[in-house]
Amino acid sequence: MLKLRKLNAYYGTSHIIHDLDLDVRKGEIFCILGRNGVGKTTLLRSLLGIDTRTRGSIELDGVDISEAPTYKRAQFGIGYVPQGREIVPGLNVLENILLGCNARSDGRRDVPPLVWTLFPFLKEHLTRRGTNLSGGQQQQLAIARALATDPRVLVLDEPTEGIQPNVVADIEKAIVSLNRDHGLTVILVEQKIRFARTAAQRFVILEKGRVAAAGAAAELSNELVRKHMSL
């Protein structure tokens, strides 16, 4: 579904991603792992064309989107949940979700019913300021906003980072449900090895902007984790 070939990505003059080849299959959860600073977030932002300069090709269902602006990539079907959530100050829950509709190619401006199924809390607090929610509730809101874009691929950057433990399970359950029950392809940057092993079908480990290891989730051994992820 998503194919990257010889992808190089830069922040200014810093070369972050080096000649990276990657294939994400339709209907899978694909997990990107690695230590801090190896290029995981840069890779995700390169997919969206955000704040990066790239060389190489990015194809979505056979269409080269590597030269398309960010809003076009969203219209093509890539939904993004950034690290830190980036909830818009001053807007309430409903307004934050509806921002995602601006990226829809069909012009619709309504909240997908799936959002209320996954996150009933949000439906009960539509007029509450998004920035007044807890960290976990804001993450639910950020995922809801991405779902409002009507994505074919959902890209999440460390969705359980900094979230209270009682909400982490709800976020993980929602991600798995989106994939298993609703067929959404998910690209996930994650540090929790347990979740990567149980949720993902395949993984890649990055090191200095290059692929250090890749395979099926069952091949994500303790040895690989110690070698490429331990401090």
Domains of the chain, by residue range, sit at 2-228
Measured in degrees and rounded to the nearest 5, phi and psi for residue 19 equal 45, 50
The CB-side HSE value for 163 (13 A sphere, CA atoms) comes to: 21
pLDDT for residue 231 is more than 80: no
* Mean pLDDT within 21-32: 97
Output the average pLDDT for the chain: 94
Question: How far is residue 17's CA from residue 22's CA, in Å, rounded to a whole number?
Answer: 12
Q: What is the pLDDT of residues 127-155, one digit of tens each?
A: 999 999 999 999 999 999 999 999 999 99
State the burial class of residue 165 (Cβ atoms within 10 Å of its Cβ: 0-12, 13-18, 19+).
exposed
pLDDT for residue 193 is more than 90: yes
Task: Specify the CATH number for 2-228; select among 3.90.600.10, 3.30.470.30, 3.30.1360.70, 3.40.50.300.
Answer: 3.40.50.300
Full DSSP string of 127-146: TSBGGGS-HHHHHHHHHHHH
Confidence of residue 214 (pLDDT cuts 50, 70, 90): very high
For residue 105, what pLDDT is reported? Answer: 81
* Mean pLDDT within 55-69: 95
pTM above 0.85, yes or no: yes
Question: How far is residue 142's CA from residue 64's CA, in Å, rounded to a whole number?
Answer: 27
